[in-house]
Homo-oligomer: A and B are copies of this chain.
Amino acid sequence: MGSVWSSPERPAYPHQALAVVLQVRARRLHAMLWERPNEPFAGAWALPGGPLLADETLGASVARQLTAKVEVSHLGHLEQLETRSDPGRDPRGRTVATAYLGLIPTHVDPALPDDTAWHPVDDLPTTAFDHGSIVRSALVRLRSKLSYTNVGFALAPPEFTVAELRELYVAALGYDVTATNLQRVLLRRGVLEPTGEQAPPGRAGGRPAALYRFVTPELSVTDPFAVFRPPSRRPGSEGRRGGLEG
């Protein structure tokens, strides 16, 4: 195990694990990038990542690479995104890269190395390799999943008001969402629950906001697709829809 076997008919390629780490900061969605000091793409910004080592999976690899930037325990969620294989994607020679999507909740602010910084995803600096387009893929994935799963938990602190949660969704989705309907949708789906506590009102007064939390800190599909679902959801079952647990 760990020994590499290759031949002219089975060429081998260095493989990278990359991470698109996203966090909402100051009401905007940011991606974590580091500035390349050397060619190629010196001065351009790249995704954190690095080589897949001999005895690790891609998932383990990306987690390991990230420890150089942030504590992995800060990650609210990590999932595989896609694999890029264009032979020309690295001018130095061929590499294959598998990208992951990582999310960090707002209540942590990890200390970053000097060469690493957060950049708003809608105003990225010059990016290296194909990393700009990988970030765009990550955005599409996140935005979709915010609508039909509970991924929000990975962007939010353990407890929050609906107003705070709304800010996160607006930042991540890139368009406006009302607190009223956000609250109702997520409560109806059983994604959110009140903690029973209240947040103190701001200095200008106002009714104190109730605190909420996500019911489960694990990804689950909360809006099984609206059509072609198995016939006649059983009528007894509290109104929520059936399947997709397989």
Residues of A in contact with B (beta carbons under 8 Å apart)? 1-6, 9-15, 51-59, 61, 80, 82-83, 85-88, 92-94, 96, 98, 140, 144, 146-148, 169, 173, 175-178, 182, 185, 223, 225-231, 246
Contact = CB atoms under 8 A, between A and B. Distances in A.
A124 B23 CA distance: 42
B230 A175 contact: yes
Q: Report which residue of A57, A80, A182 has the largest number of chain B beta carbons within 10 angstroms of its beta carbon.
A: A57
B5 A92 contact: yes
A186 to B, nearest CB: 9
B54 A83 contact: no
Contact of A14 (B5, B225, B228): B5
A184 to B, nearest CB: 10
B14 A147 contact: no
Given A55-B87, A85-B58, A147 B13 contact: no
Contacts of A185: 227-228
Contacts of A11: 4, 14, 51-54
Contacts of A9: 51
Q: Report which residue of A54, A96, A148, A226 has the largest number of chain B beta carbons within 10 angstroms of its beta carbon.
A: A96
A12 B10 contact: no
A177 B228 contact: yes
B51 A1 contact: no
Contact of A57 (B59, B86, B147, B148): B86
A53 B6 CA distance: 12
21 contacts: A1-B93, A1-B94, A2-B94, A3-B93, A5-B14, A5-B93, A6-B12, A10-B51, A11-B54, A12-B15, A13-B52, A52-B96, A56-B87, A59-B85, A83-B83, A144-B225, A148-B227, A176-B231, A178-B231, A223-B225, A226-B226
